Amino acid sequence: MKKDTAKIDLDPAALFDQFSRAVYGYALGILANVSDAEEVLSETFLRICKRKQQYRGKGSLRAWVLSIAHRLCLDVLRGKARRCKPVGLPEQLTSSNPSPEVISQRHERREILAAAIGKLPAKQREVVMLKVYGNLTFRQISQTLDIPLNTALARMHQTLKHLARDPSLGKIGTE
Amino acid sequence: MDCPKIEPCQLYLWGEMSAKESKAFAAHLQECSLCRDEMARLEPLAASLQKLQPQEVPEALAERVNQRLAAAARLSSPKLRLPSPKVLAIAASILVVLGLAVLWRLMLTGSLEAPGPVQAAVPALTDEDYLGALALVLIMDESEAPGPELTDPDEIISAEIEDLTGQIGQLLEEIESELAPDQPNQHAPNEQGFDWPALGKTVSV
């Protein structure tokens, strides 16, 4: 797992080019709402603009960026006080009338898996999203979520066991 | 029931174990069927998850965010940044002190109350001027021998009081004439100014 080298001289625009996809993917996975995810994406990098001097060079830059996004996602959830919809993909990425020629086996598998992730409890979904979209190590996940390493490992373990029991994922086999 | 050692398997599945740890865990898998079965069940899902890629950020969204970042960067640029409150406070204090110093200097030199052209033409008589005139009257009075020598202390004191009263009265007349220059003044100053010896004349009341 590639680790980011710590950078002291932060350029928010450069950080956006580097981490926007991870932040957007994470926010989308947690909030399951396009407009909320867009707002979190925008606000994350604006906060980096204001707080770039707070990054002391300790730890992963990616983890620091995603920790800001994570807190913003929590703010959105608390503010709206709603349960996340049990969907893994935003509406715009699911085709309402897919044609057999368009849907590839990989795309179908991704959709099924993403939908299954969307049904997970919030705490498990956080770990999975940071792992899959944030590309963080478990140690970085534990720091971002402010939980012990063993807790992060246990939540991922529970996630895989949960997904393994999901009947919709029966098509997913070894590749 | 899971083996107590199964949870670190996540580190193994996601490739985060060190070489030494991986070797040890692999050896454990050889011995533990629980862990071996669990790993066989979870490994395909972990592999599928690892293949998931985050969503692409829509181009319009990326452009909007970049514009907001550029605007934020302009606001925080050094040219637009105001001095810190501390620096502003120090500068204000220096200006206040300088202003007070200039004001004090002006007051000391009397520049603030500098007489105008009309005032300068008329000598300003102060209290000190009048007291000085009275003192001179008393001195000159003593230098003259206007009357017979008195020996009785009571008579001497009475004479002195009478003399002083007359002189004060004359002085007051002088003051009045000074304040009303248009009125005929019998004690108008001569060419040299006030006739100080004239004030010394004893005028019987």
Q: Which of the four pLDDT bands, split at 50, 70 and 90, describes residue A126? A: very high
Going by the DSSP 8-state scheme, the letter that residue A89 receives in this structure is S
pLDDT in tens, B121-130: 455 556 666 5
Cα–Cα distance for residue pair A54/A67, rounded to 1 Å: 13
Instruction: Tell me which of B52 and A155 has the higher pLDDT.
Output: A155
Asked if the Cβ–Cβ distance from A172 to B68 is below 8 Å, we say: no
Q: Which of the four pLDDT bands, split at 50, 70 and 90, describes residue A47? A: very high
pLDDT in tens, B137-182: 555 555 454 455 566 666 766 777 677 777 777 877 877 776 665 5
Q: What is the ipTM score, two decimals?
A: 0.75
Q: Which of the four pLDDT bands, split at 50, 70 and 90, describes residue B201? A: very low
Residue numbers of B between 14 and 43 with CB closer than 8 Å to A: 14-16, 41-43
Going by the DSSP 8-state scheme, the letter that residue A159 receives in this structure is H
Asked if the Cβ–Cβ distance from B16 to A22 is below 8 Å, we say: no
Is the distance from CB of A24 to CB of A134 less than 8 angstroms? no
Minimal CA separation from A46 to chain B, in Å: 6
Least confident segment among A83-92, A97-106, B14-23? A83-92
Cα–Cα distance for residue pair A31/A28, rounded to 1 Å: 5
List of chain B residues whose C-beta atoms are within 8 Å of the C-beta of residue A113:
48-49, 52
What pTM, to 2 d.p., does this model score? 0.58
B62 touches chain A (CB under 8 A): yes
